[in-house]
């Protein structure tokens, strides 16, 4: 039997093929890096829409007669549900009113404490949110005073204790996060309104840097006032009415259950947003509910949109 001797590798041929081998390995390495990048990079951007409302419900005052809360509570809850509001900043809510909302709107969670003691006493500036769509990542409250961490503290020349309730929310489907602040400025103290806004803006920047921001509330101040100018001059918050693609409803929001003459009615309820939001719609809702109204203030609803990246 004859054996054929296998030729020894040609070293010269190997070195000739070396560039091709290196190139092939380089291509494999680049494909590996690309796969890692695609796995870690955000997916295609998608549009996220939110409906946000500010609503001073008027505290449960027995002296209101036909406009008392017992005649309005069903309509108030039905309004929030019918508008499919994702976030609602409320003002003047007493504990029994909070319970009424809780019973009628089980699909909503809420944040907030009573302004008099940090628990249940006094008015809430509660935030309601749709539990099926949003989850709370972090939340808190602070008082509009020189001692904002002390429950029930009253600031400057204010007639009442005033509070801010805030929350950091994550939209469950996209993972997108936003910050929502809700408040009610004092109706008497001009210094208190000014200093409260300064404190509020400082807290917004410190608590939620680099996040899209929504600020709602009854500011007890018209559009041309110093507190509103301070907000607009901040450089990162704008009035949704001025930016909305569609605007409907009156140019005022407080009417005192229709008793204030129309020419004397003022716009004092606002929703402000940071530039990340596009404002699709602004609705100032003025409707009769039987022999009364939703409140002595108009609820205001905005529809917002922004683009988010899914991971």
Give residue 248's domain range: 46-309
What is the Cα–Cα distance from 74 to 100, expressed in whole angstroms? 9
CATH code of the domain containing 246: 3.60.10.10
pLDDT of residue 10: 54
The average pLDDT across 296-310 equals 87
Q: What pairs with residue 307 in β-bridges?
A: 47
Mean of the per-residue pLDDT values of the chain:
90
pTM of the predicted model over 0.75: yes
Domain count, the chain: 1
- Per mean pLDDT, which range of 21-25, 176-180, 200-204, 259-263 is the poorest? 21-25
The owner of tokens 């100018």 is 229
So what's the pLDDT on residue 27?
54
Task: Classify residue 291: in a domain, yes or no.
Answer: yes
Give a yes or no: residue 102 inside a domain.
Answer: yes
- Residue 278 forms part of a structural domain: yes
Residue 127 lies in a domain: yes
| Residue in the structure block whose two tokens are 């508008």 | 83
Q: Is residue 50 part of a domain?
A: yes
Question: Can you tell me the mean pLDDT for 66-92?
Answer: 98
**What is the model's pLDDT at position 209?**
86
pLDDT above 50: residue 90 = yes
In a domain, 35, yes or no: no
Q: Is residue 173 part of a domain?
A: yes
Of 308, 299, 250, the closest CA to residue 51 belongs to 299
Residue 292 lies in a domain: yes
Q: What does the pLDDT read at residue 242?
A: 97
């Amino acid at each position: 039997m004859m054996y054929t001797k296998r030729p020894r590798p040609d070293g010269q041929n190997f070195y000739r093929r070396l560039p091709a081998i290196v190139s092939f390995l380089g291509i494999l390495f680049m494909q590996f890096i690309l796969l890692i990048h695609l796995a870690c990079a955000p997916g295609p951007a998608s549009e996220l829409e939110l409906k946000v409302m500010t609503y001073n419900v008027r505290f449960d005052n027995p002296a209101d007669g036909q406009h008392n809360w017992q005649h309005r509570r069903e309509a108030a809850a039905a309004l929030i549900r019918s508008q499919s509001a994702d976030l609602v900043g409320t003002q003047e809510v007493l504990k029994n009113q909070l319970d009424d909302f809780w019973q009628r709107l089980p699909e909503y969670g809420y944040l907030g404490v009573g302004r008099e003691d940090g628990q249940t006493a006094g008015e809430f500036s509660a935030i309601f949110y749709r539990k099926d769509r949003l989850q709370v990542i972090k939340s808190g409250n602070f008082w509009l005073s020189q001692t904002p961490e002390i429950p029930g503290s009253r600031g400057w020349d204010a007639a009442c204790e005033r509070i801010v309730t805030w929350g950091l929310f994550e939209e469950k489907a996209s993972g997108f996060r936003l910050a929502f602040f809700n408040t009610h400025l004092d109706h008497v103290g001009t210094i208190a309104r000014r200093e409260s806004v300064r404190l509020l803006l400082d807290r917004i920047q410190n608590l939620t840097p680099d996040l899209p921001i929504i600020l709602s509330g009854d500011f007890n101040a018209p559009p041309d006032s110093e507190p509103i100018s301070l907000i607009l001059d901040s450089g990162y918050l704008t009035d949704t009415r001025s930016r909305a693609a569609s605007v409907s409803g009156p140019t005022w929001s407080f009417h005192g259950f229709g008793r204030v003459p129309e020419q004397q009615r003022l716009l004092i309820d606002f929703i402000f947003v940071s530039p990340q939001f596009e404002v699709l719609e602004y609705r100032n809702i003025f409707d009769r509910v039987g022999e009364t109204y939703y409140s002595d203030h108009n609820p205001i609803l905005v529809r917002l949109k922004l683009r988010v990246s899914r991971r």
